[in-house]
Amino acid sequence: MDAALALQMGEAVAEKVLRYRRDQSGWRICRQGDGVSVSWRPSVEFPGNLYRGEGIVDGTPASVWDYVKPLAGSLREQWDENVTSFEIIQSFTDTLCVTRTATPSAAMRLISPRDFVDVVLVRKYEDGTICSNGSPARPGWSPSSRRTCAAPSRRAWWTPSSPAAWLGCTPTCRRP
């Protein structure tokens, strides 16, 4: 993949995720428990919903980031049962790469194991947020219901297949 195209795609997703973080209107809580809440709202971009998960983790943004950062052999493979393997296919800079994530079958094997190839751009913001912004690596192509995702260390935003997946999934951190 061309580095300029990857950067353009990553920047577009990062801006979209930042808009989602800033726009607090229309979110409705659909599930809460163990310090985690999952909210949803209808998408204006595609037929379906956006999901947002939030929780408080006792740790600094940097230490929480160690558990979610897009890096092969990272801690995420150890705790996230929805990731069977993760690899960096192409690296452009220390904050921009193309990744492959493999997931196991789900829903009593009604959903087959899947592979996601994404352009990932890592951004750090003034408020301490560290955000991994992912987008399908081919423009206009989305292999699943996941359109845009991010795993910020302060507030997590993702459009997973099922909001129920959040409660056993991504740890996030927010300063009290």
The domains of the chain are located at 3-168
d(CA 51, CA 98): 24
Residue with the bigger pLDDT between 163 and 99: it is 99
pLDDT value of position 117: 86
Alpha carbon 125 to chain centroid distance?
16
pLDDT at 170: 38
- The Cα angle at residue 19 between residues 14 and 25, in degrees rounded to 5: 150
Number of H helices, E strands in the chain: 3, 9
10 Å Cβ neighbour count for 43? 14
pLDDT tens profile 27-46: 999 999 888 889 999 988 77
Cα separation of 143 and 149, whole Å?
13
- Choosing among 3.30.530.20, 3.50.30.50, 3.40.50.740, 3.40.630.30, the CATH entry for 3-168 is 3.30.530.20
Distances (CA, A) of 4 to 8, 49, 97, 103, 131: 6, 30, 12, 28, 20
Task: Measure CA of the first residue to CA of the last residue in the chain; give whole Å.
Answer: 41
Per-residue pLDDT band for 147 (boundaries 50, 70, 90) equals: very low
